[in-house]
Amino acid sequence: MPQDNGRPGFFYGWVIAGIASLVMLVCFGVQYSFGIFFKPLIAEFGWTRAATSGIFSLYMIMRGVLSVVMGYFSDRWGPRWTVAIGGTSMGLGLLLISKADAIWQLYIFYSLMGGLGAASFYVPLSSTLSKWFIKKRGLVLGIFTSGIGMGTIIFSPLMGFLISTLNWRTSYIILGMITLIIILTGALLLRHSPEEMGLQPDGTKGGADLKRGLNHRENQPQSLSLGKAFQTIPFWLILIIEAINYMATITPLVHIVAYASDAGISPMAAANILGAIGGFSIVGRLAIGAISDRVGAKNLLPMVLMIEAMMLFFLTLSKDATMFYIFAIVFGFAYGGSVPLIPIITANYFGLGSMGAIFGAISFVGLLGGGLGPFMAGYIYDVTKRYNIAFLTVGLLAIVAAMLSLYLIKCRPIQVHSQNA
């Protein structure tokens, strides 16, 4: 157990944050590279876009269903075992995809096994980091979720290159090996809470620093159970907002490569557009996450949702590479900025005692929206041979979410002491 000698030292919470970000990098690199494999799968097997989108949609639904279970599991047993289980499931699923010759196999290997993997990462690690950091929670969750953008930057062009030079099957083998090695290694270094290592949140040591840390903890909301949170208006508002936000962001991320290539942009350039969304999402996560520590996460949410909506409308007008890159830059920033806000708002409204279960339930409904959006877009394309109606629909829903988030600002956190979310 570390000795408290009153001198500043390196805080292990930053190791937890780094590992969590690396896990996100791999997980969401795998998730959003599905758009790169989209047309090669259709070309080989002749599936419709709706059926192929359904693989990703079921993945999102399974990720949502299992997020509740794995969030509960993480609250009880900690993130180490949770992340290890998820890394094993996702890595093996990717390796098995390389041998697939029927669509039902991808529904098992990608949707079910990959969904279990993703469910084991985001909610448990968000909950864990919320225990390690209080004063810098927004910044740290921004760093954590920046791994999602880094994964898109790295894996989108990498998979585009591997598919064009090798083939999609070999690319999935490489993806599976990367997943197993990095995630299982990272899981070994995870710890449930600072108290497990004899530390305080934010690395507080003693004296005035410890007093400030305790004051921050005292001002946190009283912890609610999932059942109690279920009875509150803020819970339902966050639930609906998260479902719409997932739909509005996941739909273009899955279909942007196909949409851009339909417009005459080369497959490699289309993959780079997806990577650009990921790159600028990192800027959004870090900037919005840090700003939220000063002005409150719930005060920023309406802004990022409105930007998402406007850019989805802009996407329907995009015809050349310049317009697609403008979309990638602005939408990526807003989409990235929205990601750390929901876990921050959840922790600030309901406390940390059941954060895994509560945020798991919110993510479950969010992921249902994220699963419905890509399937809807694929179906609309199969019927109309265009994506415009799909993008307009999710853009209008994003405006609804922005309006609901304005109402959320007026709701008081469920707590003993008053504090802005």
Residue 418's pLDDT band (cuts 50, 70, 90):
very low
| CA 86/CA 245 separation, integer angstroms | 24
Q: How many domains does the chain have?
A: 1
CA dihedral 40→277→275→57, nearest 10 degrees, is -30
Predicted TM-score (pTM) of the model is 0.71
> Is 6 domain-assigned?
no
**Is the pLDDT confidence value at 38 over 90?**
no
> Is 244 domain-assigned?
yes
| CA 116/CA 48 separation, integer angstroms | 25
> Is 7 domain-assigned?
no
- Average pLDDT over every residue of 283-311: 88
Amino acid at 341: L
Range of the domain at 178: 13-409
> Is 420 domain-assigned?
no
Is there a contact between 326 and 307 (Cβ–Cβ < 8 Å)? no
> Is 192 domain-assigned?
yes
pLDDT at 6: 40
Please count the residues of the chain.
421
Look at 117-121, 218-222, 257-261, 288-292 and tell me which has the smallest mean pLDDT: 218-222
> Is 361 domain-assigned?
yes
CB proximity list for 267: less than 8 A, separation 6 or greater: 39, 160, 164, 257, 261
For residue 301, the domain's CATH number is 1.20.1250.20
- Per-residue model confidence as pLDDT tens digits over 94-128: 999 999 989 999 999 999 999 999 989 887 888 78
**Is the pLDDT confidence value at 371 over 90?**
no
- Quote the tokens at residue 45: 């097997």
> Is 171 domain-assigned?
yes
> Is 167 domain-assigned?
yes
| CA 137/CA 153 separation, integer angstroms | 25
Q: What is the DSSP letter of 421?
A: -
pLDDT at 421: 38
